[in-house]
Amino acid sequence: MHLSLGFSPCPNDTFIFDAMVNNKIDTGGLTFDTALEDVETLNKWALEGKLAITKLSFALYLKVKEQYNLLNSGSALGRGCGPLLIAKKAIAPEDVKNCRIAIPGDNTTANLLFSIAFPEAKNKQVMVFSEIESAVLDGRADVGVIIHENRFTYQQKGLVKIIDLGEFWESTTGSPIPLGGIFIRKDVPEAVQQQVDTLIHDSLQYAYKGYPQLSDYVKQHAQEMDEQVMRQHIDLYVNDFSLGLGEEGHAAVGTLMEKGLKR
């Protein structure tokens, strides 16, 4: 059976899916047509039901739950891994509502976490996540919500942290931070859904066997990132929750859904 599959080119996703999509493990007859795209592009496609299997921001879950099921494996969820709000100079949190804010997509979990922390802040500009640091530096935005590898690079560019949105979430809810998950369209046969879930788990276990060595697939899609940043990225976003959400992970996703409904 041939299935369309979308995930980001970031090291955490390519690390997880490498063995599964490049025939390093037995896929039981399943083959995959992969699309590596920014998560906000994947979010938009999911609203159209475009891909059979896709990485999505958990913030979008409520909008696609009639079409997609959440798989147990492959998620980015944890502690100390949330988005950061950054600026060129220190800004008091109470002044953020008056700023021009760059966000990595309307439907991203980063935007939802920002909105929970700063409900009065409305002047938002959507940008590709990799452009947000530059937008703050050149004055197109006053503050920016950064995700992915930008957590490791903003200080090198002279930017400062205003608030760690993940820390805010953890301190107010006690839950780990649910960033993104792997979803499968409900029209895929249930047995195949379970097979895909197991394959993602097995693909990640395969990747761990060779770690900290990085495969060519991970390095190929990491653009200009150096290998140390790739490993920091994987260490931050790939963990036991990626192998299986479990009770704690599913509870965290449920808490995020409740918060999202109250926005």
Residue boundaries of the structural domains of the chain: 2-78+177-261, 84-173
One of 3.40.190.10, 3.40.1360.10, 3.40.50.300, 1.10.3720.10 is the CATH number of 2-78+177-261, namely 3.40.190.10
pLDDT of residue 237: 94
pLDDT in tens, 128-157: 888 999 999 999 999 999 988 788 889 989
Is 109 annotated as belonging to a binding site? Answer: yes
Residue 169 CB neighbour total at 10 angstroms: 26
pLDDT of residue 139: 95
Among 2, 148, 201, 221, the active-site one is 148
2 is an active site residue: no
pLDDT of residue 98: 95
Q: Comparing C-alpha atoms, which of 86, 105, 104, 106 is closest to residue 96?
A: 86
pTM reported for the whole predicted model: 0.92
pLDDT of residue 263: 66
Is 57 annotated as belonging to a binding site? Answer: yes
Superfamily name and number for 84-173? Periplasmic binding protein-like II (3.40.190.10)
H helix count then E strand count, the chain: 11, 11
Domains 2-78+177-261 and 84-173 share a fold: yes
Q: Omega before 212 cis (within 30°)? A: yes
Is 153 annotated as belonging to a binding site? Answer: no
Phi, psi (degrees; rounded to nearest 5) at 123: -85, 80
d(CA 67, CA 149): 30
Residues in the chain: 263
pLDDT of residue 224: 65
d(CA 10, CA 41): 14
d(CA 109, CA 107): 7
Is 30 annotated as belonging to a binding site? Answer: no
Residues in the chain where the model's pLDDT stays below 50: none
